[in-house]
Structure 1
Amino acid sequence: MVYKIDYVDGDVLIWSVTESGVECEVDESYTPTIYVSVHGDGEFSTARAALQDHPSVVRVAVVDERVSFRHDPEQVLRVDVVDLKAVTSVARMVSRWGSPGEYRCYNVDFSREFRYCLEEEIDPLPTRELSQMQIAVSETELASARVTELTIDDETVTGSGEDVLTTLSARVESVDPDVLFLNTSDLIPVLFQQADRLDVEFQLGRRSGWQQLAGESTYESYGQVGHSPARYNLPGRVIIDGSNTFMWNQTNLDGCLYLVEQSGKPLQELAWSSIGNILTGIQIQEARERNVLVPWRSWRHEKFKTMRQLHDADRGGFTFAPDVGLHEDVHELDFSSLYPNIIVTRNVSPEKIRCECHAGREDVPGIGYSICDERGYLPDVLEPLIKDRDAIKAEIRETEDEERRDELEGRSSAIKWILVSCFGYQGFSNAKFGRIECHEAINAYAREILLETKAVLEEHGWRIVHGIVDSVWVTPIEDEEQTSLSELVSEISEEVAIRLEHEAHYDWIAFVPLRDSDAGALTKYFGKVAGEDEYKYRGIECRQRSTPSYIDEAQKAVIRAVDEYRDPEVVCEELRSWVDRLERGAVDPNELVITNRVSKKREDYTQSTRSVAALERAAELGLTRAPGQSVSYVVVDDTKDSRERVMLASEELDEYDVGCYRELLVRAAASVLSPLGWRERRIEQFLSSHDEISLNSFL
């Protein structure tokens, strides 16, 4: 079956894996297709004539298609163009005709391989196991543009630039991998340029040459700056870029292949795609099943709302403020895939919400939107994923085969990320099939469900100590009789038509206050799992990617001390041992590496922060960092503002700033002790008095 599509010199190369090996079929006649609809004062015949005369258009035909889920089939223009570049150029020309919205284009911004599979009705899921090879190179080697050392699978290869190229090329030819996993695909142009410079015959793909598919870019999403590396291609091989593959890093090959099957996106494109991009692919498959075209740009206006409707609708998810402190005997209850299940059980779909046929009904609680009785497309997209995940989770609980468990875990994780994104995607302005009213309706149903759950639990002797979106934490109310949670879970599940699950039982759980307030932080807590030597951490330093490993380990040790003693002074004695080790200089600097994502170019920063110092040091060493990328460093002298303030993690590390890391240690300890009433100042007072006692003992 097909697993890779390449576009080379105007031809399409279709690569298939078979039992006997890899086969390549060449399609010399492929022409991509877009569609054009005409609205308002637009002239259908004029548009058709103009497109027929365009040099990049091969043919124009009138066909019947649905331009949205709300529309019946209507006449549109099918436009076949000469190549991929012509797709966008022709669409841009059409979009400039007439008034905005008169001429609309469809099926425009598809990725290369996905487009071919969609138009030629090809399933890109390979039917046999794909062979793999891993290639890694250090950042300093890559920056020098002269690679003399790299790792092939688990073997390090060193030598002259020519030796490394020859060894790598021979190894690739011998193994002939279907998938090349690179820690960064920037290695591809560097190797080929090195081969040209040294006049060495070199090949990585199943055909000669390489391609750059996209340049690097910086973007902003939900207030965070991100970086998308350049993308490269080798004919006949799937390239997985370790620096640009969220889904592969969060799941595994089995999870990715499951999503290939669901979305119709070939493996290489799926690996670099965002969650929303993959969800769109799944939705597009459903749209084409229903003969619905995919809009290039979203034209769905938000329906009129009164100020009261807007106030009631725009409220987000529901939360119960956490009861700050340490609580004994706590149970966590979670609704299984709450938002996706609301979509499925309540028929929340863009083309069915606020429908004209039921305009007088108020189906959505609190905001009064109607929802059509006819089944929507979005429930049909999500229901198979929900059922698959439920079946996979059930099999995980039953299987004792570790290899099979890993496969299942990968698929379960892949589905989880798609289900997590389906709610937020409805409110995304560029979503192909999203609608803000769906986003509002899902929240409204979720608020109602959580309030109903609270009422049932409290009526039967349970107190809610925290609740957020789809989870609640409960503990028995003193001096009251409790109905068993298993009974209540079944009752609530039946009442709201969504399964409520008993997620965990904790011996104790602590909810952390905000740093500058006594109010509880919604997503910061930690606790001890009942009957297990296991702890759960959420939101605190040991769960943050920037935290050095030494601080991570120290915080977990402090939490274990809380579990054993519940006494802040005794817990601070544990902290003291970690501070002592730090102050003696006995900590390996590699355990103190801080990793931060940079949000601007180095020259755009106005403050002299540690990250800026690290950027300056990286620039001095010839290492580039674009906004959205991460920089890793150790603080060596926090009193300085220059690049001497830090050293990069890739350098030879032999020192660190004790005061800086002591401060980080105390802050991490405060996250643990603040539920017990001790903030940073109190901790520092204890540590200082301990220091004075220690000094006096030597007098």
Structure 2
Amino acid sequence: MVYKIDFLKDVYEWSITPGGAEYERVTDYTPTIYATYDGRTEDGLSNIRERLEYYPTVVSMVIEQWRRGFRHEHEPVLRIDVRGLADVPSLASRIRRLSEPGEYKLYNVDLSREFRYCLERGRDPTPTRVPVTLAIDVAPPELVNPPLTELTLDDETVTGSPEAILHAIQRRLGQVDPDVLVFSSGEILPTLSEMADQHEVDLRLGRRPGWEQLAERSTYESYGSVGHSPARYNVPGRVIIDRSNTFFHFQSGLDGCLDMVERSGKPLQELGWASIGNVLTAIQIREARDRGVLVPWNSWRHEFFKPLSTLHDADRGGYTFSPEVGFHEDVHELDFSSLYPNIICQFNISPEMIRCDCHADRADVPGLGYSICDERGDLPDVLQPLIDARDTMKQEIRESDDEERVAVLKSRADAIKWILVSCFGYQGFSNAKFGRIECHEAINAYAREILLDTKETFEANGWHLLHGIVDSLWVTAIEGEDQTPLSELAAVISDRVGIRLEYEAAFEWLALVPLRDSDEGALTKYFGKVASEAGDEPEYKYRGVECRQRSTPDWITNAQQELIETLDQSRSPEAVCARLQRQLAELHAGRVDPQALAIDNRASKHTEEYTRATRTVAALQRAQDEGLDPQPGQNVSYVVVDDSKCSRDRVQLAHESPQQYDVEFYADLLCRAAESVCSPLGWQRSDIETYLSDHQDSSLAAFQN
């Protein structure tokens, strides 16, 4: 089995063996695209075939039988074999220009190159053994000011002259012979290559000479957030995983990535940089290929006409109950297992099956009246094996005592989880190859119905619903009423709905946090203590509060967790504020490491595009001064050193090793974190400040002693 494909002058199929790696050279590969005709004349395919006959990038053409969609029959399709991968986009664009809009539809045009090759040549890119890895990490300032004088090879830090650095890498490559290079940044590759040229060192990072840049860096926007995609690079015979540009490796490690390689057919290097939607699409493409269905170049599934009243009912998300703010004891959490993917499979929701013509008189989807065909859809067939595999892995994790095996299974289950989490939202994505907005709407409609029915069932059996979010519910016993055991109740609901309702956890207590400056509950902010046996280490669960927010400094995170522990021990806002008082004293005394106060924020624009002098702008300006060239979508890490200023001196970058911090700024952050802890007990910011003012002197004296 191949695990890496290199496109040099010829194609090199790399396989890894117990003894290392080997390749097969392929000289006859030609990528393929397809065209269908929707025009008025009968000889449309023959016409386009004649017009492309002598086009230099066309190698051959033939009429084949394919399906253009899952509900379509086989029909004549023009197969066009293209000279090379680089010629595919230009040829596809030319065909579009040769016809009236919509006359020709093109397929299999924009597939990634290694995935395309495996699909067309029938190659399985799953490695036959676990690949050997070598991690190379370089601090960002080193990359900005080469040559490198320090880097880390796996866990070993190497320092010295550029020649010493290069020779150390050479030696390690020879010793390890890695199949995968894991870089902290893709820019390590061109930096090392330039150093090797300057110092005349024969450094070969690949298994053959040379390297190439696959893609320029870019900025994108997704669901209102700006992201950054770094430049991508390639070396022959080895996979490159860039930790600054990988979702699956970050979330599930190498084991999770390898599981997704097997399921999606995307080779490891492409899977390393792929998004969740990209991998889901690859799985769908493989399913489509098995069914003789082509992959559309662009999604042209228009939204069905619907009356205004249906639009209003359909344009809603999953159901979220208003949380009952407060500190609640003896709480139980239950979750529907993979609710949205199971809804898709249970109710056969698939783009080609929703609102089908053959059942137009039916109203299957609650509240919306959409029909769903009885014929099994493609999307359920794609997702059901993933659901089953994850359930099997979770069962084995619960039963296994083999820690190494459990770690592998957790990584694989995590990778599958992200596909299942995203499959629902991807149905509403306008560029999804196989998606339809009506599927998105139908899934939400079923989810709302299920959650409302479940709430009624709990309340009829002696349980009060404190909160519910889409697929999770938190309940507590209704005082004075008999309760049906939750395990029994969960089994009844699971049988009725057809989706397993799982008992997730028991909480000694659960705190539901209000919105700031409001009595209304924050939908996704809560924390609590998981019930445990006597003598066990206490376990706390945090969601939405500061210690779970990406930009919160480490010291504030730890401080808030200490406050929550204090609340657990005392059930008293006064005790929490006493602990807060000591933390503030520590902050004022300058005893906090400034590095522990670093804030990570993501830039949403280029520095010059900001109109306000924010802290992030100050950090970006400092980064520019050092030649770091921060891009929209990239993170910048800084410590606030003097928040009274508006210039770049307001902050220092984390790697500048700041020796001071703005006490009042961080004291305010800490008090905000404390308010999240105290507010479920009815204390707001003003109550905290009153306590601090009344106890200031004694608390400072206690700290100093």
Write the letter of the residue equivalent to 2:35: V
1:517 deviates by 2.2
* Aligned residue number for residue 319 of structure 2: 318
Write out aligned runs for 1:49-88 (5 A).
49-88=50-89
Q: Is it true that 1:21 corresponds to 2:26 in the alignment?
A: no
**Comparing 90-99 and 264-273, the one that deviates more:** 90-99
SS in 1 for 2:16: strand
Write the letter of the residue equivalent to 1:382: L
* Aligned residue number for residue 40 of structure 1: 39
Alpha-carbon displacement from aligned partner over 1:208-240 (angstroms, at most 9, x marks no partner): 110000010000000000000000001000111
Alpha-carbon displacement from aligned partner over 1:389-427 (angstroms, at most 9, x marks no partner): 000000000111111110000011011000001000000
SS in 1 for 2:528: strand
**Comparing 388-397 and 613-622, the one that deviates more:** 613-622
**Comparing 156-165 and 651-660, the one that deviates more:** 156-165
* Aligned residue number for residue 6 of structure 1: 6
Write the letter of the residue equivalent to 2:452: L
Write the letter of the residue equivalent to 2:324: D
* Aligned residue number for residue 669 of structure 1: 674
Q: Is it true that 1:541 corresponds to 2:546 in the alignment?
A: yes
Alpha-carbon displacement from aligned partner over 1:577-603 (angstroms, at most 9, x marks no partner): 111100000111111111101101110
SS in 2 for 1:617: helix
* Aligned residue number for residue 180 of structure 1: 181
* Aligned residue number for residue 602 of structure 1: 607
SS in 1 for 2:487: helix
1:682 corresponds, among 683, 687, 690, to 687
8 Å contact 1:64–1:76 — kept in the other structure?
yes
Q: Is it true that 1:581 corresponds to 2:569 in the alignment?
A: no
* Aligned residue number for residue 622 of structure 1: 627
Q: Give me the identity figure in percent.
A: 61
Q: Distance in 2 between matches of 1:370 and 1:181?
A: 49
SS in 1 for 2:523: strand
1:199 deviates by 2.5
Q: Distance in 2 between matches of 1:696 and 1:167?
A: 55
* Aligned residue number for residue 553 of structure 1: 558
SS in 2 for 1:665: helix
1:692 deviates by 5.2
Q: Distance in 1 between matches of 2:69 and 2:98?
A: 21
Q: Distance in 2 between matches of 1:240 and 1:159?
A: 26
Write the letter of the residue equivalent to 1:538: R
1:695 deviates by 8.3
1:100 deviates by 2.3
1:696 deviates by 11
Q: Distance in 2 between matches of 1:678 and 1:546?
A: 25
* Aligned residue number for residue 333 of structure 1: 334
Q: Distance in 1 between matches of 2:175 and 2:53?
A: 50
SS in 2 for 1:367: coil
Write the letter of the residue equivalent to 2:666: Y
SS in 2 for 1:167: helix
1:140 deviates by 1.1
Alpha-carbon displacement from aligned partner over 1:429-467 (angstroms, at most 9, x marks no partner): 000000011111101110111111011100001010100
**Comparing 170-179 and 427-436, the one that deviates more:** 170-179
Q: Distance in 1 between matches of 2:450 and 2:313?
A: 16
Q: Distance in 2 between matches of 1:480 and 1:265?
A: 55
Write the letter of the residue equivalent to 2:436: R
* Aligned residue number for residue 129 of structure 2: 128
SS in 2 for 1:330: strand
Alignment length, in residue pairs? 697
8 Å contact 1:97–1:103 — kept in the other structure?
no
1:66 deviates by 0.5
Write the letter of the residue equivalent to 1:7: F
* Aligned residue number for residue 468 of structure 2: 467
* Aligned residue number for residue 479 of structure 2: 478
8 Å contact 1:94–1:104 — kept in the other structure?
no
Q: Distance in 2 between matches of 1:97 and 1:577?
A: 75
SS in 2 for 1:482: coil
* Aligned residue number for residue 148 of structure 2: 147
8 Å contact 1:113–1:266 — kept in the other structure?
yes
* Aligned residue number for residue 167 of structure 1: 168
8 Å contact 1:31–1:81 — kept in the other structure?
yes
8 Å contact 1:637–1:657 — kept in the other structure?
yes
* Aligned residue number for residue 103 of structure 1: 104
Write out aligned runs for 1:174-213 (5 A).
174-213=175-214
Q: Distance in 1 between matches of 2:310 and 2:93?
A: 37
* Aligned residue number for residue 442 of structure 2: 441
Extract unaligned runs of 5+ from structure 1: none
Alpha-carbon displacement from aligned partner over 1:314-334 (angstroms, at most 9, x marks no partner): 121111110111111110010
1:572 corresponds, among 554, 573, 577, to 577
**Comparing 159-168 and 461-470, the one that deviates more:** 159-168
Q: Distance in 1 between matches of 2:699 and 2:581?
A: 12
**Comparing 224-233 and 681-690, the one that deviates more:** 681-690
* Aligned residue number for residue 248 of structure 1: 249
8 Å contact 2:595–2:657 — kept in the other structure?
no
1:18 deviates by 2.0
Q: Distance in 2 between matches of 1:361 and 1:316?
A: 23
1:21 deviates by 2.8
Write the letter of the residue equivalent to 1:554: A
**Comparing 219-228 and 298-307, the one that deviates more:** 298-307
8 Å contact 1:65–1:292 — kept in the other structure?
yes
SS in 1 for 2:134: strand
Alpha-carbon displacement from aligned partner over 1:258-290 (angstroms, at most 9, x marks no partner): 110000000111011000000000000100010
* Aligned residue number for residue 268 of structure 1: 269
1:694 deviates by 6.0
Q: Distance in 2 between matches of 1:605 and 1:71?
A: 51
1:349 deviates by 0.7
8 Å contact 2:652–2:658 — kept in the other structure?
yes
Q: Distance in 2 between matches of 1:439 and 1:25?
A: 44
Q: Is it true that 1:368 corresponds to 2:369 in the alignment?
A: yes
Extract unaligned runs of 5+ from structure 2: none
Write out aligned runs for 1:300-315 (5 A).
300-315=301-316
8 Å contact 2:320–2:470 — kept in the other structure?
yes
8 Å contact 1:613–1:645 — kept in the other structure?
yes
SS in 2 for 1:419: helix
1:174 deviates by 2.7
Alpha-carbon displacement from aligned partner over 1:31-51 (angstroms, at most 9, x marks no partner): 000001111337322211122
Write the letter of the residue equivalent to 1:107: N
1:108 deviates by 0.8
TM-score (norm 2): 0.97
Q: Distance in 2 between matches of 1:265 and 1:695?
A: 60
Write the letter of the residue equivalent to 2:693: S
Write the letter of the residue equivalent to 2:94: M
1:686 deviates by 1.4
Write out aligned runs for 1:642-661 (5 A).
642-661=647-666
1:479 deviates by 1.1
Write the letter of the residue equivalent to 1:65: W
Write the letter of the residue equivalent to 1:656: Y
1:693 deviates by 5.6
1:125 deviates by 0.3
Alpha-carbon displacement from aligned partner over 1:361-409 (angstroms, at most 9, x marks no partner): 1111111111111111111100000000000000000111111110000
Provide closer, same or farther for how the CA distance between residues 597 and 477 of structure 1 changes in structure 2, counting only shifts above 3 A. Answer: same
Q: Distance in 1 between matches of 2:23 and 2:352?
A: 42
Provide closer, same or farther for how the CA distance between residues 671 and 173 of structure 1 changes in structure 2, counting only shifts above 3 A. Answer: same
